[in-house]
Structure 1
Amino acid sequence: MRISVPTIPHVVSSTKTNTITPAAAIERIASHLASGSVTLLTGAGVSVDSGIRAYRGKDGRYMNPNYKPIFYHELVADNSKGRAFSIPHASTATPDSVTGKLRSYLGYPLVRDTQPNTTHYALAALQHTGHINHLITQNVDGLHRRAIDHLWDDARTDARILELHGTLHRVHCQFGHVVSRDEFQDRLSASNPKWKAFVDELEATGKKPRTNPDGDVELEGVSYDDFVVPECLACLAQGRYNTNQKPELIFFGESIPQSIKERSFRDIERSDKLFLIGTTLATFSAYRLVKHALELKKPVLLLNVGPTRADGLEGIDKIEIATSRVMRDVVRAVLGRRASIDPVIVSLLNNGIHRPPLDDNDG
């Protein structure tokens, strides 16, 4: 089986774009959103200001040159390698040994504790006012939900936010039993007191490992062989011993459930326009939604720093500028006076962190 890692074609990644002033960007984005009926599609770039690294840098290349994802067929294979990966790890775990057993356990606390940034809350304001009526995200960090969950109940959030690639915050076994990630993390800690002490030391010293958007970490010189994965309690209650569990993520080579795929297409069809933020569209699951919108003659606006797979497509209006420089002012431009007198909107526009991760060369 040959499965390739999603990339941006070189001819696209070398495309040059013109610079734009924040004022001009705000005007163009506000004009696109003002009439409402917009579906929003977001990628890893949206969460960078929360401290979560994107996969790719401004040149469109992977920031980790040794990037080696774990593929779904390796995860589920009925052999030693498959059994080694039948655990709760992230989609970029290295398939060289049993490293997947621990890497997500070490990386998840960073994602769990990360807060929504100013862009998340600005977008939540536009969701709350109905200008963005559907949000599709490739991110698995749950930050879009956290930015608006104090305003909406679970049913409304589930109906308006589609997590295209799943979430880190739930774990399921091969038989469909689901538990919260926090509960599973606690069970992992109880089963691995040595590694729990290691995590506590990392948190106490502030020496957090490099973490990818899906919660996978980069560690060198560490042996993972003694990491214990607890059994699924629901399976155990049925008389079945089963440690084959993973986060509700879509792994490379794994198909998106048909119901999710169909809903993503419906969300495009139900809106008049498409707005893209912080995504290179390297994964086909996102790129095909853009193609679908273009086929339906819907206006498409793309806000992303660096090259994308859609560069050069006819019908794409692209703006290159950091979202944190414009999105709150976009909300003010769209909502006018309401942005300064509506207490909910005021609160959203005054909320959110801005803590982008340090570059690898920084201290």
Structure 2
Amino acid sequence: MVRISVPTIPHSIISSATSTKTISPAAAIERIAEFLVPGNVAVITGAGVSVDSGIRAYRGEKGRYLNPNYKPIFYHELMDESPKGFTYRQRYWLRGYLGYKPVKDALPNPTHYALAALQYKSIVPKLITQNVDGLHDKAIAHLWNENTTRERILELHGSLRKVNCKYGHVTERETFQEWLSAANPQWKEYADDLEATNQRPRTNPDGDVDLQGVSYDDFVVPECPSCLLEGKRNSIHKPELIFFGESIRPEVRDRSFHDITTSSRLFLIGTTLATFSAFRLLKHAIELRKPVLHLNVGPTRADGLPGVEKIELESGKVLREVVRTLLGEKVDDDIVVRELLRSGEVRRPREDE
């Protein structure tokens, strides 16, 4: 039996991490702008870019999980048709039911809008995100239609927007949330109370919440109506995102490699690259001898790799000014860019303040 574990940064990197050479925000802005000047830059983002939107990252500045009780459900557990698999789905969907709204309601922060400006100006033709929160889409949705967005932004690990049943029937997540509410009125009341008192449980970037001392036994996972119409009974559902232990679809994997291959350089933002799906893209860029710049706080899987230049700063402190420096006087001439650089609020998770 193949052993599946949660991807993480090797302990040897965390234990041997030393402070990166300090650089002032002003110097960082100049260096990043200089790196982006040639254009045709591919960008890979991670959970760190969404922290300013109130979505807690998996790992903190020391590279370790912020939630020591983090125990995700693996793909094979969620799809298990045995009674044990049913209990896994009860746990997942109760926690996901409570955690979806904080992620759905999150708004793009200045980093998202700065990247939207770079995409709008075609300096960053392709953006690959490991995040499933849809915030990159929200930042540029008023400028691009859905087709353009999907051509320019690749969600490497999927999104929370849709739910698939075992037989392939697709449901919008908002509709599925309504099904969960109708099937679990007691939990809807609990969720409404949390909302009314602004007491949301600790939420992970994938919409999973940390619940302690809670029984999942009474949570009802609804059956798929489309399956019932076909004479089948089925309550096995999965959000349209990649679970630990699940393979990325070949077309997504191939496109991610193509986006790196056709770019001139690679800019990594807010990611520890703990997941191999992202780390292998960095390795691909290095093999192709692309210039690589990494903007992140804390240890990462890329630390010490030849060909990777790292700046240890939060993207929210510099990226908006990077765009202004890069475009110079053109910023004042472009009403769209000006508006993008004025947009975005910072609402960090309470525990991180």
**Shared topology, TM-score over 0.5?**
yes
Correspondences of 1:215-234 after superposition (within 5 Å): 215-234=207-226
Name the TM-score, length of structure 2 as normaliser.
0.97
Q: Report what 2:79 is aligned to.
A: 76
Superposition deviation, residue 246 in structure 1 = 1.3
Cα deviation 1:171-230 (Å, max 9, x = unaligned) = 111111111111111111112111111111100000111000000111122222111122
Q: Report what 1:40 is aligned to.
A: 43
Distance 1:10 1:340 in 2: 47
Which amino acid letter does the alignment assign opposite residue 142 of structure 2? H
Q: Report what 2:10 is aligned to.
A: 9
Note if 1:247 corresponds to 2:247.
no
Do 2:61 and 2:297's aligned partners in 1 also have CA atoms closer than 8 Å?
yes
Q: Report what 1:25 is aligned to.
A: 28
Do 1:126 and 1:132's aligned partners in 2 also have CA atoms closer than 8 Å?
yes
Q: How many residues align?
A: 350
Superposition deviation, residue 268 in structure 1 = 0.2
Do 2:37 and 2:326's aligned partners in 1 also have CA atoms closer than 8 Å?
yes
Which amino acid letter does the alignment assign opposite residue 147 of structure 1? A
Correspondences of 1:1-363 after superposition (within 5 Å): 1-13=2-14, 14-16=16-18, 17-86=20-89, 98-359=90-351
Distance 1:52 1:174 in 2: 29
Distance 2:229 2:153 in 1: 34
Structure 2: gaps spanning 5 or more residues: none
SS at match of 2:351: coil
Cα deviation 1:316-346 (Å, max 9, x = unaligned) = 0100011111000000011111212211011
Superposition deviation, residue 241 in structure 1 = 1.6
CA RMSD of superposed structures (Å): 1.2
Distance 2:52 2:93 in 1: 28
Name the TM-score, length of structure 1 as normaliser.
0.94
Do 1:173 and 1:244's aligned partners in 2 also have CA atoms closer than 8 Å?
yes
Superposition deviation, residue 238 in structure 1 = 1.6
Which amino acid letter does the alignment assign opposite residue 61 of structure 2? K
Cα deviation 1:241-265 (Å, max 9, x = unaligned) = 2111011111111111111110100
Distance 2:17 2:181 in 1: 47
SS at match of 1:77: coil
Distance 2:330 2:227 in 1: 52
Aligned identity (percent) is 62
SS at match of 1:318: strand
Distance 1:289 1:209 in 2: 34
Structure 1: gaps spanning 5 or more residues: 87-97
Distance 2:225 2:50 in 1: 33
